[in-house]
Amino acid sequence: MPTVYAMIPARGGSRGIPRKNLVDFAGKPLIVHTINAALASQYIDRLMVSTEDDEIADVVRQAGAEVPFRRPAELATDTATGSAVSRHWLEWLKTEGHDPWAVMHLQATSPLRTADDIDRAVELLRRADDECVASVCPVTEHPAYMYRLNGDRAVPFLDEEALPSHRQRAEPVYRLNGAIFVTRFAAALAAGQFHLMPFAALVMPAERSIDVDTPLDLALAETIHAEMSTGTAQERT
């Protein structure tokens, strides 16, 4: 089987929720849910965490992930970009002589993503013509029914010619949910990032696509997690 390495970025600071990556979520630190899903995947060969934080490093090691290097302080600030963090890991792999078939980015703030989601992403990449697979979810508020403001006047976001005559006729629209990026290593290394265009889309339901960034996100994700645990959550694809 092709070799797949995965990386979870996890800095110590956070704006919306203090120490977000370690906040309690259903009885475990938030990041541990992503670690558990990755370790349960049948395709991930190595799981690494990019962090500058000692406490996070200790927690993720106890959960079974590796911390083979420490992220530079300049890549752990509020202004550091995700692409810069990704590039640092990709270049570290090259310097250390690693040459996996594919590399995967898993954000710790997607705790409802499952091992099956991860496996489906790898399987899609194996049969896709594209160099990258990214997870998406349906957009519940269709842009055909959104507006921009011209002064005080609301103007349709889309041209009138593009507006469907009925909601039921509106073409389904999807957005990146940030949960999974998996890319062939050579292509990711050349680009210095995971997200390449064009990409093959792995569709995930909205219920598993919550990105925990605020206390409201956290509360909603915990509610859905509880429903999923009891089998009462209703998936909408």
Q: Which of 46-55, 156-165, 184-193 has the lowest mean pLDDT?
A: 156-165
Q: Residue 71 has what pLDDT?
A: 93
- Give the orientation angle of helix 54-63 with respect to helix 30-40, to 10 degrees: 40
Q: Look at strands 132-138 and 174-184 and give their pairing.
A: antiparallel
Q: 207-229: string of b/e by CB count within 10 Å (b at 16+)?
A: bbbbbbeeeebbeebbebbeebe
- Pairwise pLDDT comparison (208 vs 140), residue with the higher score: 208
pLDDT reading at 126 higher than 60: yes
Q: Taking Cα atoms as reference points, which of 69, 126, 128 lies closest to residue 101?
A: 126
Q: Residue 77 has what pLDDT?
A: 85
Q: What is the H or E stretch that residue 123 is in?
A: helix 115-127
Q: Look at strands 28-29 and 44-50 and give their pairing.
A: unpaired
Q: Taking Cα atoms as reference points, which of 70, 60, 43 lies closest to residue 182?
A: 43
Condensed to tens digits (0 to 9), the pLDDT of residues 49-107 reads 999 999 999 999 999 999 999 999 899 888 888 889 999 999 999 999 999 999 999 99
Amino acid in the structure at residue 169? R
Whole-prediction pTM value? Answer: 0.88
Domains of the chain in start order, with CATH, are 4-136+175-230 (3.90.550.10)
- Rounded to an integer, the average pLDDT of 151-180 is 79
